[in-house]
Structures are given as structure tokens and as C-alpha cells.
Amino acid sequence: MKAALFYGGADIRVETVPTPEPGPGEVLVRVLAAGICGSDLHGYRGNRPPTPGGPRLNGHELAGEVVAVGPEVTTLKVGQRVGVEPRHLIGCGVCRFCRRGDYHLCAYLGQRNGKQVHSTGFAEYSLEDAAKVFPLPDHVSIEDASILDVYSCGVHALHLAPVTPMDSVVVYGAGAIGLTAAEVYAKAGARQVIVLANRPHTLAAAEKLGMTAIDVTACDPVEAVQDLTGGQGVEVVVEAVGGRGATFEPALQMAATGGKVVFIGMYSQPQALNMRLIHRREVSLHPCWSYALWNGVPEFKIALDMLADGLLQPQVLITHRFSLDEIGAGFAAADDKGNSNAIKVVINP
């Protein structure tokens, strides 16, 4: 099969590799759309050492069609259109975290017989676990389904910090992860969702999604949030920037007394926590990494059901599309969102 091989940094080459065959409990999915994730960009920018043992295949946000089923698979058929919870999100099944539905916290996450496994969305085919593959209703498009992994992170944030109709939410950062979380919170019944953005095209997207959009380059974001909430702050802050941490302390300042700050953004360096901002007001901090089950239901399935019910608008977020041969250009667009005006870039192998 044709696949993009990641040699480290921006060195991505499309080559031919053996097509995998599904073993027991596995299916082979023909990839029809695969999103470029912020986490893929860490490797692209050279923030991650090259994988030992040569180039690797990547791509964990994908949807496509089942083309082969392995032995013991009874739930899926060849020809079915499917959304895919990425393959690395399988735990050992027996540790306390796996048993209680938090398999994303398993120490052996993504390991099969001692080997790390993962999806290969930036290739013609991806081997997947049947238990993680969800048939799509006819009216859900493959392209929309390809970014369900992103919406699932928003569902997990909601799981960690739920809202009621009396609660206001700030989403700090308007990349794909921030905007998808904003959509999930809005549809979960938050009274208002304020999106803090720093680029014209993401501000426009936030407005199109019905959010209260604030341009942080034109005001003090903490003051703006206080103004919008009568000086109270918001019950939930979703911090979706991370990086070097310029948004870390402002996020704490925006939280109301008793509020929660959910950290989805990945930080590249340690942050100093000013306890005075949170102690007396009992503001709680919730790191949010990936997703798993919520009351036994896959958070991926919750996102899929929201999409199928017409509650989410991925077409506002999917701004760029490239073929597998053009994947280098796709990564360049995703890497330089200030110039490309990209929000979510999708590869169509």
C-alpha cells in the first residue's frame, strides 16, 4: 500500500509498504479521510526525537471503509463505512484504570504482545481493532467522521467538568481542539460559551458556530471575561493553547469561585502555579488527556451520536484538503496556520 513515512521532523516521504492483514479481532480499513492533529505537528516541528528503528507511519484521526475482517470479528462487515477510535487507545484490560473505564490512563496503553501499535491514517489502509471501529449512519459523511477523535476530546473535557444551564464557559484557544470543545459545551447546555481567539479566521469560525468570540489581540482577555460575566468569571475554563504557557495564569484568573479549569493544551515547559489565585476560591485544575469511557459509554460514540444528531458542524473547521501525495503541503499548511488560515487539515489517501 501507499503510505506516508515519517523520517523525523519535516521529512515525510510517500512510499510503498506491505499492506497489513487483519488478525483475530482486527479489521482492515481503507482510509478515505485522515485529519492532521496538533500532536502530529510536535514531531513535524522536531520537538520529538525520531522514532528508533526507522521511519514510522502516522495518522490517528481517520474514517473509511472496512475492506477485510479478521477471524472472530462478528460486529463488522466488508463494505461498511466507519469512524475509528485510534488503535493506540486500547489498554491492558485488567489494571484498575482499564477496569473502571479509564483505559486512556493504562500504563500499557497501545501495547499488544509487548509491541506498541497505532493507526496509520496517512496511508491507504489502517489496521484497527474491531471493538474500536464504529459504523457510520448513512447521512454522516466520511470527512466529518474523520475528526471525531477531536470531538471526543471535547466530550472528555465535558466529562471532567460538566455544565448546567446556569454555567458559563470560556474556551481559551480557537484551534480545532478548542472549537470542537466549544461546540460540545454549547450543545451540552452551557448558558454561554466564550471563545478567546487570536486570528481573524478562527474568530470568524467561532462566530459562525454561534459562540461569543473575543479577539485577545484587541483587549485584556481576563477583563473581557469579567465584563461578560458581571465580574464573576466562568464556571468552566477550557485551556486549549498550552505551549510555553502564556495562557496558564490568565486561565486561572478567569475561573469563578468554585470553578474548574480543564487543561487540554499540551505544555512544552513547566508552569509556576500561583496558589493564591485558586486556594481561597477552591478553583480546581483538571488535566484532560485523550478520552475513554463515560459511564461505560465510549466517549468516541458520544461524539459520533452528537454528530449524527446534527449537533456539530465539522465543516466550519475543515478548511484544507490534500491527497496523500501532497501530504508535505498539508503538514506545511497545518504548521503555519497564521498564513494558511487552516483550522483542520484533512488528508484524503
Please report, as ranges, the residues that interact with Zn ion according to CB under 5 A. 37, 91-92, 95, 98, 106
- Residue number with CB closer to Zn ion (30 or 88): 88
Q: How far is the CB of 92 from Zn ion (least distance, A)?
A: 4
> What angle, 0 to 180 degrees and rounded to 10, lies between the N-to-C axes of helices 200-208 and 176-187?
20
Shortest Cβ 97–Zn ion spacing (Å): 5
CB of 303 to Zn ion, least distance (A): 12
Nearer to Zn ion, 92 or 277 (CB): 92
Q: State which residue, 41 or 95, has the beta carbon closest to Zn ion.
A: 95
Hey, which residues does 263 pair with through a beta bridge?
A: 239, 287
Dihedral of CA 172/173/179/180: which sign?
A: negative
Smaller CB separation from Zn ion, 252 or 303: 303
Which three cell numbers mark 319?
Answer: 478548511
Non-local (6+) Cβ contacts of 83 within 8 A are 63, 133, 134, 136, 140, 145, 146, 148, 300, 304
Q: How far is the CB of 96 from Zn ion (least distance, A)?
A: 8
**Residue 171 vs 292, nearer CB to Zn ion:** 292
Helices and strands in the chain, H and E counts: 12, 19
Cβ proximity to Zn ion: between 92 and 311 the closer is 92
DSSP 275-337: GGGTTTTT-EEEE--S--EETTEEHHHHHHHHHHTT---HHHHEEEEEEGGGHHHHHHHHH-H
Minimum CB separation of residue 153 from Zn ion in Å reads: 7
Q: How far apart are CA 332 and CA 183, in angstroms?
A: 27
Nearer to Zn ion, 214 or 318 (CB): 318
Coil, strand or helix at 103: helix
- CA–CA gap between residue 278 and residue 55 (Å, rounded): 45
Quote the least distance from Cβ 149 to Zn ion, whole Å: 5
Cell 491492558: give the residue: 92
Given the complex with Zn ion, which of 106 and 254 has the nearer CB atom?
106
CB of 240 to Zn ion, least distance (A): 13
DSSP state of 56: B
Among left, alpha and beta (phi > 0; psi -120 to 50; other), residue 149 is alpha
Closest distance of CB 8 from Zn ion, Å: 20
